[in-house]
């Protein structure tokens, strides 16, 4: 089946939940980026999570005065207390549309895109 002339609907994460299932303390850097129309403005937030802890990451927006645009989550960067680094970048597995409360799970050797939460 040809996709000629078809426009793909947007698929991105607006906000997420991150759960640390690893056996270590982690630092998480969440990277958000707006569209080229918004000059690819990038922002980030940093979160520290102990073993078994969960964090709700709120969406990021760009204020245009009379309206706001969402900055989709583009990348999750994790640094463990032993210095090991790992990352996961968009497109995230399982994300087929614009989603909220998407669950990401940090395990000992990887970050997993786990699906809709709540």
94-110 pLDDT, tens digit per residue, is 999 999 999 999 999 99
- Picking from 65, 70, 64, the residue whose alpha carbon sits closest to that of residue 100 is 70
Residue 54: other Cβ atoms inside 10 A = 13
Q: What is the mean pLDDT of residues 25-35?
A: 93
Q: Is residue 74 part of a domain?
A: yes
Is residue 13 in a domain? no
14-29 average pLDDT score: 97
Does residue 60 form part of some domain?
yes
Q: Report if residue 90 sits inside a domain.
A: yes
Whether 25 is covered by a domain: the verdict is yes
Residue range of the domain that includes 112: 21-116
Computed on alpha carbons and rounded to an integer, the radius of gyration of the chain in Å comes to: 15
Asked whether residue 59 is assigned to any structural domain, the reply reads: yes
Q: For residue 14, is it within any domain?
A: no
For 40-94, how does the pLDDT look when each residue is reduced to its tens digit (9 = 90+)? 778 999 999 999 999 999 999 988 889 888 999 999 999 999 999 999 999 999 9
**Predicted model pTM:** 0.89
Number of domains in the chain: 1
Q: What is the C-alpha to C-alpha distance for residues 51 and 69, in angstroms, rounded to an integer? A: 34
CB 55 within 8 A of CB 28: yes
Tokens (6 digits) for 81 = 């207390």
Q: Assess if residue 70 is contained within a domain.
A: yes
């Amino acid at each position: 089946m040809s996709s000629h002339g078809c426009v793909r609907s947007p698929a991105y994460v607006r906000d997420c939940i991150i759960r640390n299932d690893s056996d270590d303390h982690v630092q998480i850097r969440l990277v958000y980026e707006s569209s080229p129309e918004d000059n690819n403005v990038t922002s980030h937030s940093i979160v520290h999570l102990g073993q078994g802890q969960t964090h709700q990451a709120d969406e990021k927006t760009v204020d245009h005065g009379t309206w706001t645009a969402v900055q989709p989550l583009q990348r999750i960067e994790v640094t463990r207390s032993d210095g090991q680094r790992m990352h996961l970048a968009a497109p995230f597995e399982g994300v087929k549309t614009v989603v909220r409360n998407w669950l990401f799970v940090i395990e000992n050797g990887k970050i997993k895109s786990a699906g809709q939460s709540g």
